[in-house]
Amino acid sequence: MKEISCNNQITRLIDGIEPGEFDGNFKDGLGLAEEYSGLEQYKVLDGGVLIALDGVWYHSSEKVRCEHCLHLTKNGKTTYYHSMTAAVMVRPGGEAVLPPAPEMIRNEGAEGNYEKHKQDCERKAAARLLEKHGKYYKPLRATVLGDDVYANHGTCKAVLGQGLSFIFTCKDESHPWIAEQVEWGIPETLKTTVWMGRNHLEYRYKWINGLENRADGEKLPVNYLAFEIYNREKGKITYKNSWIIDKTITQENVSLLTECGRARWKIENENNNVLKNYGYHLEHNFGHGENHASEVYCVLNLLAFLVHGLMILCDEDFIKARGYFGRRDEFYNALRTFFWAFEFQTWEDLLLSVIAHARGG
Ligand SMILES: [Zn+2]
How many angstroms does the Cα of residue 19 sit away from the middle of ligand 1? 13
What is the domain-level CATH number for residue 236? 3.90.350.10
Instruction: Verify that 328 and 280 share a domain, yes or no.
Output: no
Pick from 150, 147, 174: which is nearest to 263 by CA? 147
Question: In sequence order, what E strands does the chain have?
Answer: 50-61, 70-74, 77-90, 103-105, 143-146, 165-169, 188-195, 200-215, 218-231, 236-245
How many angstroms does the Cα of residue 120 sit away from the middle of ligand 1? 13
Instruction: Verify that 228 and 349 share a domain, yes or no.
Output: no
Q: What is the pLDDT along the chain (361 residues), one digit of tens a residue?
A: 678 888 899 999 999 999 999 999 999 999 999 998 889 999 999 999 999 999 999 999 999 888 899 989 899 898 999 999 999 999 998 777 899 999 999 988 666 665 666 789 999 999 999 999 999 999 999 999 999 999 999 999 999 999 999 999 999 999 999 999 999 999 999 999 999 889 999 999 999 999 999 888 889 999 999 999 999 999 999 999 999 999 999 999 999 999 999 999 888 888 888 888 877 888 888 889 999 999 999 999 999 999 989 998 889 999 999 999 988 888 989 999 999 999 999 999 999 999 999 888 5
How many angstroms does the Cα of residue 18 sit away from the middle of ligand 1? 13
How many angstroms does the Cα of residue 16 sit away from the middle of ligand 1? 13
For 83, phi and psi rounded to 5 degrees? -145, 170
Instruction: Verify that 224 and 352 share a domain, yes or no.
Output: no
Pick from 69, 86, 1, 74: which is nearest to 288 by CA? 69
Last residue of one domain, picked from the residues 298, 314, 330: 314
Q: 317: part of which helix (H) or strand (E)?
A: helix 316-323
End-to-end Cα separation, the chain, in angstroms: 30
How many angstroms does the Cα of residue 88 sit away from the middle of ligand 1? 24
Whether residue 8 lies inside any domain: the answer is: no
How many angstroms does the Cα of residue 98 sit away from the middle of ligand 1? 26
Instruction: Verify that 163 and 195 share a domain, yes or no.
Output: yes
- Cα separation, 199 vs 289, whole angstroms: 55
DSSP assignment string, 196-208:
-SS-EEEEEEEEE
pTM: 0.91
State the amino acid at position 64 in one-letter form.
V
How many angstroms does the Cα of residue 279 sit away from the middle of ligand 1? 23
Residues in the chain: 361
Ligand 1 ion: residues within 5 Å (CB): 66, 69, 294
Whether residue 31 lies inside any domain: the answer is: no
How many angstroms does the Cα of residue 107 sit away from the middle of ligand 1? 9
How many angstroms does the Cα of residue 60 sit away from the middle of ligand 1? 8
Whether residue 30 lies inside any domain: the answer is: no
Structural domain boundaries enclosing 324: 316-361
Instruction: Verify that 290 and 355 share a domain, yes or no.
Output: no
Last residue of one domain, picked from the residues 299, 314, 329: 314
How many angstroms does the Cα of residue 80 sit away from the middle of ligand 1? 7
Instruction: Verify that 334 and 294 share a domain, yes or no.
Output: no
Pick from 220, 85, 212: which is nearest to 144 by CA? 85
DSSP assignment string, 118-175:
PPP-HHHHHHHHHHHHHHHHGGGT-EEEE-GGG-SHHHHHHHHHTT-EEEEE--TTT-
Domain count, the chain: 2
Specify whether the backbone of 151 is left (phi greater than 0), alpha (psi in -120 to 50) or beta.
alpha
Express each pLDDT in 94-141 by its tens digit.
777 899 999 999 988 666 665 666 789 999 999 999 999 999 999 999
Whether residue 262 lies inside any domain: the answer is: yes
Instruction: Verify that 276 and 334 share a domain, yes or no.
Output: no
How many angstroms does the Cα of residue 135 sit away from the middle of ligand 1? 30
Instruction: Verify that 255 and 349 share a domain, yes or no.
Output: no
Instruction: Verify that 307 and 323 share a domain, yes or no.
Output: no
